[in-house]
Amino acid sequence: MPSLCLTLTLHHPAHLKHYSFFDIGNSATYEDESKTAEAVNQFASECVLPATRIVLKQLREYDGDFRIALSISGCLIDQFERYRPEVIDTFKALSDTGHVEFLAAPYYHSLASAFSIQEFREQTLLHHTRIQALTGTAPTAFRNTALIYRDDLACEVEALGYQVMLTPGGDRFPGKRNVCGVYRPTQGSLLKLLANHDRLSDDMARRFTHSDSPETPPTSTGFARWLHQVHPARGGVIPLSLDLGAFARLSPDDTGLFLFLNQLPETVLLHQEGTFITPSQAASPRPAPPLSSKEFITGENPGHDLSPWMGNEMQQDALNALYLLESRVKGCPDQTLLKTWRLLQVSDYFLYMNTHNEAFPGPAHPAMPGDSPYDAYINYMNILTDFSERIPG
Amino acid sequence: MRILMFGWEFPPHISGGLGTACYELTRTLSRHGNIITFVVPRAEKQAKKSPVHLVAAAGVPLPHSSSVEEFFQSLNLKTADSILRPYLTDEEYPLVLRDATGGETNKDQPGATPPTSLYGKNLMAEVARYSEIGEELALKEEFDLIHAHDWMTFLAAIRAKRATGKPMVAHIHALEYDRSGDSINGGIFEIEKMGMEAADHVIAVSHYTRNLIISHYGIRAEKISVVHNAVSRHQAPRVYHVPHDRKKKTVLFLGRITSQKGPDYFIEAAARVLEKTQNVMFVMAGAGDMLPRMIERVGELRLGMHFHFTGFLQGHDVERMYAMSDLYVMPSVSEPFGLSPLEAMIYDVPVILSKQAGVTEVMPHALTVDFWNVDDIANKILAILKYPALSRELLRNGRKALRSIRWEVAAERIQLIYNKLAV
């Protein structure tokens, strides 16, 4: 049984309001705050609070034998602070156990790494500062939005001072298969890459969220068995990401996740050599074979590339229009404009414009008004048009 | 299988989607080895070439035509006189009758003139008369199954079924509810209901229509199958090099100018759009009882400079109109299916559709609106005009989706229904 390096990821986009062409020039309010508040409250009550309380209890009980990492987007921290401060207290309590590693990330869960390195640095720094203020500890590991990776990003991440960067795994690196565990970028650097076990991560998400799956929900016993099968050799590391946001859409009485989290430490630790480690621990001296990708890869879609966010013309148009505003926004002293511009970078908005989604046609995501990816694009472009008209110069 | 099919129109003489749908369905069903006798009320000498045996009801001798009045009364159709056929109003009927019975186009072919005396005085009487012919034909023809398209043919199909005991399929292309909203004609409603009750199986052109049949006509859900209409490749465009002012965009409404099609919402939305941009031309193509009022309204709103009424368009003019357009808007109040948006997409024209249209079930790559939400229609028209990536993406995905919307698929579904009924 290898060491399990589990990261729970948390993110939730602000809900955009229905914004018509006729609102352009008349309204600078883009967010439907009551909807955001409602969704954040629901997310907190039905998912984040129960899940983190279970984890907290186990962390205390197993005192160092059980460890996890948390990757929380900056915008979600802001939302919790505003609408459910008790969640912030829970995060602090988790941090106080000393067994939770908080990861750095682009603050707004954005695609800045693919569009503007400068903005990517600034958002990472913002998030870094926020996490440090929250936990009292400076993060040493970095997780990009959707695990997006390219070789040059590794250089950036190292230059920003991180020791480890989480990356996709499996067959996502060109010419590689079954990538999982600790690696390093090809160019000589000290940064370690922690390649995700994509298939197991996908499996987990699927088994929790797809009721037609054979083992729904997965039991921690079954999970420990998989782990053992995946890496029977001693000393391996299995990095896994589990997106708590995906469970926000489950029905409140769906307790599979909680049951799973509750039993996880016991069942993993039962196995010989079964341990939990955090990303920074995993990266500490170990053999690290080289990994490289000259193109963008991601851990959160079967197509491997950025196409879920920028695979069609609407998405490309919206993203280009958004990032074209960078110099104008940053050339202006008004900090609220900068903040709004950043809020509009949340990657989810572009994902909703994806027309290849298997689930489409159907209602678009609740965070975007309208019935289709086309409506999502129209709404977003109306907002962006208004916003660009408000930037002086 | 031998099918006795009752229809009301067949290309090239069509007044709406029904004729096209019947043509395409008979064409593809024939390929499945079915032998179809298609009954239409009038002789159509220049009928479109098809493998179907076209029978004109006008040519069938009527031994007991005196019973028309009697039959008419037995149906208790009190208000039936006011509505003559799905697409025409009272005033228009005499014109149609004249055409069908040897108008100017037939001058050189006296043989093509059907005997005028065989026509009823009004269309409801013609419907009743057609039903008697249905029975006559049914007794003469050899067939395994009856398939009837829309209410005008249902009485004929019922009588054919009673006379022969053969199974009957009622195919709903449009309901009285779609045409007339809340002010429905009780007589037509009754015929529709009677036809669907008598039928062994009902085919609806959309889930939208199926739901109306269940909720408004009380027909059992298990008895109703949905077979969506389609659009065919041979309707693919000729290449039109239409002089096109790229700066000035053209937004098209094409259809009957009747309350069902929502032309008034189109005009109100246009007025809203013109508040924001002047580089746009609105075209309303078609004819109908609301046309004078619509012209008046455009005047009232002072939109004349940006509005064009083409009148009724046919054939190549329709194709040219699509080719000239940058956007097609269908704000129908109730649309059982709605073929024209698919045609527009064949001409690379993106579409805005009413959510109350069955075609949205097969075409997710369209913008949809509530027909009454004029601001939203305007918002979406403006989005198409201002964000070119939107049209490109709609068309790119729409073209892919169109490939699977084929009449062959519809025929296969219908064949399965036939096979179940005619055992």
SS3 letters across chain A: CCEEEEEEEECCCCCECCCCHHHCCCCCCCECHHHHHHHHHHHHHHHHHHHHHHHHHHHHHHCCCCCEEEEECHHHHHHHHHHCHHHHHHHHHHHHCCCEEECECCCCCECHHHHCHHHHHHHHHHHHHHHHHHHCCCCCEEECHHHCECHHHHHHHHHCCCCEEEECCECCCCCCCCECEEEEECCCCCCEEEECCHHHHHHHHHHHHCCCCCCCCCCHHHHHHHHHHHCCCCCCEEEEEEEHHHHHHCCCCCCHHHHHHHHHHHHHHHCCCCEECCHHHHHCCCCCCEECCCCCECCCCCCCCCHHHHCCHHHHHHHHHHHHCHHHHHCCCCHHHHHHHHHCCECHHHHCCCCCCCCCCCCCCCCCCCCCHHHHHHHHHHHHHHHHHHCCC
Together in a domain, B251 and B328: yes
ipTM tops the 0.85 cut: yes
Q: What pLDDT sits at residue A360?
A: 46
Q: For residue B416, what pLDDT band results from cuts at 50, 70 and 90?
A: very high
How many CB contacts within 8 angstroms connect chain A with chain B?
59
Q: What pLDDT sits at residue A248?
A: 55
Together in a domain, B35 and B109: yes
Together in a domain, B128 and B176: yes
Q: Quote the minimal CA–CA distance from B390 to chain A in Å.
A: 6
What pLDDT digit, counting tens, does each position of B177-225 carry?
Answer: 888 877 888 888 999 999 999 999 999 999 999 999 999 999 999 999 9
Q: What pLDDT sits at residue B163?
A: 92
Q: Which residues of B touch A381 (CB under 8 A)?
A: 383, 386-387, 390
Which residues of chain A fall below pLDDT 70?
1, 188, 205-219, 230-235, 247-255, 301-303, 357-365
Q: Which residues of A touch B393 (CB under 8 A)?
A: 312-314, 355, 374, 377
Q: The domain that contains B325 carries what CATH number?
A: 3.40.50.2000
Give the nearest chain B residue to A20 (CA atoms): B379
Q: Quote the minimal CA–CA distance from B228 to chain A in Å.
A: 17
The answer to which of A6-15, B31-40, B400-409 has the lowest mean pLDDT is B31-40
Q: What pLDDT sits at residue A65?
A: 92
Q: Give the total number of structural domains in chain B.
A: 2
Q: Do A381 and B396 touch (CB under 8 A)?
A: no
Q: What pLDDT sits at residue B138?
A: 87
Q: Is the pLDDT higher at B135 or at B251?
A: B251
Together in a domain, B191 and B324: no
Q: Quote the minimal CA–CA distance from B385 to chain A in Å.
A: 11
- Quick one: average pLDDT of B368-381? 97
Together in a domain, B107 and B179: yes
Q: Which residues of B touch A21 (CB under 8 A)?
A: 276, 378-379, 382-383, 386
Together in a domain, B188 and B251: no
Q: Do B393 and A314 touch (CB under 8 A)?
A: yes
Q: Quote the minimal CA–CA distance from B354 to chain A in Å.
A: 13
Confidence check: pLDDT of B93 > 90: no
Q: What pLDDT sits at residue B179?
A: 83
Together in a domain, B69 and B143: yes
Q: Is the pLDDT higher at B349 or at A224?
A: B349
Q: Which residues of B touch A360 (CB under 8 A)?
A: 364
What pLDDT digit, counting tens, does each position of B138-155 carry?
Answer: 888 889 999 999 999 999
Together in a domain, B117 and B219: yes
Q: What pLDDT sits at residue B42?
A: 67
Q: Do B386 and A21 touch (CB under 8 A)?
A: yes
Residue to substitute from B379, B394, B397, interface A, most A β-carbons within 10 A: B379
Confidence check: pLDDT of B171 > 50: yes
Together in a domain, B297 and B168: no
Together in a domain, B266 and B209: no
Range of the domain at B16: 2-230+407-421
Q: Do A372 and B383 touch (CB under 8 A)?
A: no
Q: For residue B121, what pLDDT band results from cuts at 50, 70 and 90?
A: low
Together in a domain, B81 and B204: yes
Residue to substitute from A374, A375, A385, interface B, most B β-carbons within 10 A: A374
Together in a domain, B27 and B161: yes
